[in-house]
Chain A
């Protein structure tokens, strides 16, 4: 199967980055159409499309939009998660640099659907090329009446501001992101079921819709062509619709972003990326560093789709697909991945703050210790995994253990250690 380039169709074309070029290719038709529709009808189109969040969790987008209070008694906000930080992922970067208006248009449509007055784009400060492109797109949108007061005569006002991060992976987590935007350390607070969803109480305790860059970029296509049209893409899968951009890196010949239709076998994605470099395929982390690693046999069976990848023991995640060749030391790789989580842990809750550091230490012992130390290390890892997975406050701590659990199974057999109850 070749790529299905919907979002990235015009990526690389400098004219498309400016509003004139974007409009020449049908840009802002979606917004114009949405503004003539009932707000609920826009949400219904998104529902029909089957779009699921592209930021990692795969939550149905329409459900978020639909859960914002319809009776408007106070300000509503839109927050675009452009803090892409997941190791292995660089799709939002390409989208913002090359198709900034697509994302902005999607955000404005989202803002209209939930009756928001202000939208924020939270961009990590390393992404200056993205920030400049988005800022220019916002300026152009104001000049053309797509933002500001009384947009296209609809009587609805909307502003969008860029908010820059300052270096923190945890700020990609939506709860932490809101804290960060409100001028605090990027640490999440209580969340559902202990606190309402952000769509009820988000920024400044007001209803806030948070979606990923890629999720918003899908919206104009859905509004223009209809949800039913979008839902035909990827229809061979159980419940994954549309296209998904995979950022392929690691030991491949042509690393880069590939936009594919759901339902493609994982091995074809590898082919698109020019096949393996420097040796045979050994393992793959298909959805960013937080998702479980799978071995070669699992790769050969894997079909790309939210449910389909779960069947082989992993996840779509954010779409950061890292292929490893046969010369890679898996334990070293897991150690380095876990070190990332230990360094990026925000430190708010004990299981993750303490556990992630200890997990790194245990993996280091597994890497260089003798047999007795290795067996002991495996036991420690089992314990840490249970605690971190069940007791961490946010996804960082919960997912930090997945590389260790998934990939150590083969290793466990090699050293003859008993398989723990938790893995």
Chain B
């Protein structure tokens, strides 16, 4: 005769009374699920950037040789960083743009609060208006926009033009023609002297 206390046959149980077996079953299942999740985490987390990748976090750049109107590209964390010495005309063009004409109204400047507006002052280096330092990656799908070399097509707004899907950026690196959804990002950086920048 089956013992209602130990049988797995629920029809033997009086009413819906939970048996000790139910407690063991649920408990064992819960422990197995938690244990499984704990084991899964190292298997997933190993794919995140490793210690050696994270340690490559700062780059120093000498900007003295960059003449007005020129731009250079340096590498930081495997990404291209655009450093542009803007002309007075380019600065004026960027300043004249009304914020409501922008696709992305945020400055995307890692050195400023997240909700800072995309004014030219919030995009350019602080107190060093001619200098624009940003991650040279189109915010659409990660291509490198054209516009760094003198002969490059720079788009209708005189900044950068992405050859992949036609996004255009102005002289403050703000997206003006899609499909890119955001302005090009500005990395954390600081002037360590008048001619040196530390990125990261």
Asked if chains A and B come from one complex, the reply is no
